[in-house]
Amino acid sequence: MSSKLARSGVAIAALALCAALSPTGGWAGTTIVIGLQQEPTSLDPTADATASIDGMLTQNLFESLTTVNEAGEVLPQLAESWTVSEDGLTYTFDLLDGATFHDGTGFDAEDVKFSFDRAMAEDSVNPSKGLFKPIESVTVVDAGTVEIKLKQKDAFFLFNMAQGDVSIVAPESVEANNANPVGTGPFKYDSWTRGDKLVLVKNPDHRDAGSVALERVEFKFISDAAAASAALLAGEIDAFPGFPAPELLPQFEADPRFKVVTGSTEGEVILAMNNAKAPFNDIRVRQAVSHAIDRGEIIDGAMYGQAVPIGSFYPPHGPAYVDLTGTYPHDTAKAKALFEEAGVAGTTMTLRVPPFPYATRSAEIIQAQLAEAGIDAKVENVEWGFWIDEIYKKLNYDMTIIAHTSPNDMGNFARGPKYFYGYDDAGYTDLWNRISAEADDAARNALLAEAQKYLADQAVHGFLFQLPQLGVYKTGVEGFWDSRAVLFQPLAGVSVN
């Protein structure tokens, strides 16, 4: 998932953002065009798992109780402060006074309760219901105070409250948020031309409007990396913080008009296998696939060397990281033997991939690697809407390649057989529950290390590489984060000089 399907949900997708100065007359100097490879099917982050919704709207149009900065630190947002009970189970949030929604509706504690009750409802379509699982009750103390009681401690609770799935929405406007979103943020919705662009404009009534430099933000949907590169070289694009063509970085590094920044993301790129479906419910088959893949060849061919290999589902820059890339070293002979032992040698497996360069390029290489191990991998390139519907929702696939870009998302493996992994393991679920409830950093990191090894030993997926944040910036653009600890990119601090 870039993708967003992942958080405690799944954030999946390619967060390929690009930015450009608009030639629109009166907006010169205060307009930026941010290009996305991925156009979402909806604009409601509380109802759709697409990562680009967060990239555009979270903490820009929508706001939450908390927010997170580039370093991953939790900061106040719609809650200006909070207190936590001694047992760590009761959070009392003091809300901002005077915040309003873009349609003029006032914000208060009732909106917070409505948003949480809606997300936690039995018929909720929130893609990250796991974020709300620890919550026992949400109570309005008064118009400016909300009390949230947890069933058990949640080490990630305040961090999770900043995510797009936990955006605060209003009952008066929520039904139209999929196509006409209304929030409390520094930017408000202007228009969406499907297949082309989405436009936000500055919210003059926002409490921090005076410090927001941009008057207009245009997200331009550009699926082709070569077209995006050409636009950047032609001077039409000011910034591309998720540059999808690593092979072209050297020419931008040599061009004084640009600066190139390499950062990190929370995006684990995986060769996902449908664990609920034969033959991938056989660990020998999953182990064989893991031995068949050559991460070095994939990184060189698909990412031109601009990525770090992973052996489990955790970012190499994280404090609990364990290098498990040697768990299943590339060994074609071993892969062949395991495929034969499992009775699937010479069979055909389908590899359905979304339209992101990291996925389509990796698929071609993995197809050849599996062929060497005796498997005919049929690659099917599918559109993002098809991927969401058939693969994510219906589990209609053998294998796929996707980047999970949400932080703290190892809980995906505890979501049960209905989640698109098709993975159901009581031992891991228990381990994740202990991780989530552990307040001590050192103890939690030890458990996270154990979880990484658990997933690697089970060969749940083929773990490929960590998606880098490759940024190309034109001189004069300031304020974009070099690295991403979360899916969103706040634009209130971005300027074009």
Residue 389 has pLDDT above 70, yes or no: yes
Residues 198 and 219: beta-carbon distance below 8 Å: yes
pLDDT tens for each residue of 285-319: 999 999 999 999 999 999 999 999 999 999 998 88
Q: Is residue 176 part of a domain?
A: no
Q: How many residues does the chain have?
A: 497
Token reading at 126: 């929130």
Q: What average pLDDT does the segment 229-252 reach?
A: 86
* Same domain flag for 291 and 401: yes
Could you tell me which of 387, 365, 399 has the C-alpha nearest to residue 285?
399
* Same domain flag for 313 and 421: yes
What DSSP string runs through 137-178?
EEEEEETTEEEEEESS--TTHHHHTTSGGG----TTTGGGTT
Q: What average pLDDT does the segment 50-58 reach?
A: 89
Domain boundary pick from 170, 204, 233: 170
* Same domain flag for 407 and 272: yes
Helix (H, G, I), strand (E, B) or coil at 392: helix
Domain that holds residue 142: 63-170
**Percent residues over pLDDT 70 in the chain:** 94
Residue 271 phi, psi (nearest 5): -90, 90
22 vs 273, more confident:
273
Strands 187-193 and 197-202: antiparallel
Residue 228 has pLDDT above 90, yes or no: no
Q: What average pLDDT does the segment 229-250 reach?
A: 86
Domain containing residue 439: CATH number: 3.10.105.10
pLDDT in the model for residue 150: 96
Q: Residue type for 332, please?
A: T
Could you tell me which of 69, 31, 48 has the C-alpha nearest to residue 481?
69
Domain boundary pick from 119, 153, 170: 170
Domain boundary pick from 108, 140, 170: 170
Q: Is residue 245 part of a domain?
A: no
Q: How far apart are CA 54 and CA 188, in angstroms?
A: 14
Q: What average pLDDT does the segment 347-364 reach?
A: 95
* Same domain flag for 391 and 275: yes
Q: Is residue 353 part of a domain?
A: yes
Q: Is residue 449 part of a domain?
A: yes
Q: Is residue 33 part of a domain?
A: no
Q: How far apart are CA 425 and CA 414, in angstroms?
A: 7
pLDDT tens for each residue of 171-204: 999 999 999 999 999 999 999 999 999 999 999 9
Q: How far apart are CA 148 and CA 116, in angstroms?
A: 10
Q: Is residue 337 part of a domain?
A: yes
What's the chain's average pLDDT?
A: 90
User: Number of structural domains, the chain?
Assistant: 2
Helix (H, G, I), strand (E, B) or coil at 95: strand
Q: Is residue 329 part of a domain?
A: yes
pTM given for the model? 0.78
CB burial readout 390-407, b (16+ within 10 A) else e: bbbeebebbbbbbbbbbb
Q: Is residue 486 part of a domain?
A: no
* Same domain flag for 161 and 274: no
Q: How far apart are CA 284 and CA 57, in angstroms?
A: 43
Q: What average pLDDT does the segment 440-458 reach?
A: 96
Q: How far apart are CA 232 and CA 338, in angstroms?
A: 47
Residues 15 and 52: beta-carbon distance below 8 Å: yes
* Same domain flag for 161 and 269: no
Domain containing residue 150: CATH number: 3.90.76.10
pLDDT tens for each residue of 128-172: 888 898 999 999 999 999 999 999 889 899 999 999 999 999 999
Does a cis peptide bond (omega within 30 degrees of 0) precede residue 279? yes
Q: How far apart are CA 204 and CA 177, in angstroms?
A: 20
Residue 130 phi, psi (nearest 5): -60, -25
